[in-house]
Amino acid sequence: MSLNRIRFHHPVEPVELALLQRVFDRACLTRKLCKRSLEAESMAVLLVDLFAHGVRQEHHLAVMVGNRPLSAASRMAQ
């Protein structure tokens, strides 16, 4: 799913954007992902999609994004 397909019912507020950025940054650091990698991009799309569908607690987002398995390409690069 691309970010173009995700629809919000209201604009994302700066505090919400900061929350998404924290979760993304922490997940990339924990999983040792380059923030510009395809795996990180996929994780960002999932994170925004979860948020758009009502998952708003930072801990819940972190758990849901952090539990995704690494793709084969990402594992080979490590």
How many domains does the chain contain in total?
1
Structural domain includes residue 9: no
Express each pLDDT in 56-77 by its tens digit: 999 999 999 986 555 544 444 4
Structural domain includes residue 7: no
Query: Domain range holding 30?
Result: 23-77
Structural domain includes residue 43: yes
Percent of the chain scoring above 90 in pLDDT: 62
Length of the chain: 78
Structural domain includes residue 11: no
Q: What is the pTM of this model?
A: 0.76
Instruction: Find the distance separating the first CA and the last CA of the chain, reported in whole Å.
Output: 25
Structural domain includes residue 33: yes
Structural domain includes residue 65: yes
